[in-house]
Structure 1
Amino acid sequence: MSHDLSLAQSLAFQLSRDLMVPVTLFTVNGEYGVLPSNEIDDDDDLQIVHEYSPWH
């Protein structure tokens, strides 16, 4: 988790490219996190910031 949005964005983009899967940048309790998009459930209490695709 990170408090720095620009760092989280950079890491999310790079993770997407390294894993070659879509990843989602989210915020919860004032911190940013990244998960592969297929691991996020609708029941999770996350505010989605952006989804990164390795193909775009």
Structure 2
Amino acid sequence: MSQSLAFANGWSLAKSLMVCVVIFTAETGGYGVMPASEFDGDPADVVHEFDPFE
């Protein structure tokens, strides 16, 4: 997933679910998007966090 696609998916997911989501670098070299409450990886891997309430 490209970084711009990850950002678009992250923003959309945050707005749809009304939860904070994080974009992180995956072990495979790509990007991942998931709810912030479920992310238990290395905080240094977080690229951006979307908060739908801001």
RMSD: 1.3
Alignment TM-score, normalising by the size of structure 1: 0.83
Q: Give the distance between the partners of 1:53 and 1:14, measured in 2 at CA.
A: 11
Percent identity at matched positions? 42
- 1:32 maps to 31
Compare the two structures and name the one with the higher helix fraction.
2
Task: Show structure 1 runs of 5+ residues with no match.
Answer: none
The amino acid of 2:33's aligned partner reads V
Shift, 1:45, TM fit: 4.2
The aligned counterpart of 1:23 is 21
Code of the residue aligned with 1:54 in structure 2: it is P
The size of the alignment, in residue pairs, is 52
CA distance in 2, matches of 1:18, 1:35: 13
The list of structure 1 runs, each at least 4 consecutive aligned residues, that deviate by more than 3 angstroms after superposition, is none
C-alpha deviation, 1:16, in angstroms: 0.1
Higher strand share: 1
